[in-house]
Amino acid sequence: MSLARVYSIPEPILVFQKSRTSLQSYCCVTGTGRCMLVLTGHSVVTYLHEFAHALGRNERGACRWSLNLFCRVFPREFARCAQRGHCLVRE
């Protein structure tokens, strides 16, 4: 089941884009009312973070929600990571 269905929102449009830095991912609302998640990398945590913005969470809420869900779904991978500022990195 998709996250969008679970949270009763229209499925976001997912766009992958090349970027010089990995910090340019973002979420925006399109003219159709659907959110567009523009990702510059292939990170599960980044996807969850931007999805949290689509749910209406602010920056702090998006960080908390995405890290909590990642930890619950991927506990072994989460245990191998460390939080460095605003990022979760592999140790």
pLDDT tens digit sequence for 42-51: 788 888 988 9
pLDDT tens digit sequence for 10-61: 888 888 887 666 557 777 777 777 888 888 777 888 889 889 988 999 999 9
Residues facing 42 on adjacent strands: none
pLDDT for residue 3 is more than 80:
yes
Q: Please name the residue ranges forming H helices in the chain.
A: 3-6, 44-54, 59-73, 75-79
pLDDT for residue 74 is more than 80:
yes
Q: Kindly list the domain boundaries of the chain, sorted by start residue.
A: 3-90
Q: What does pTM read for this prediction?
A: 0.81
In this predicted structure, what is the pLDDT of residue 79? Answer: 94
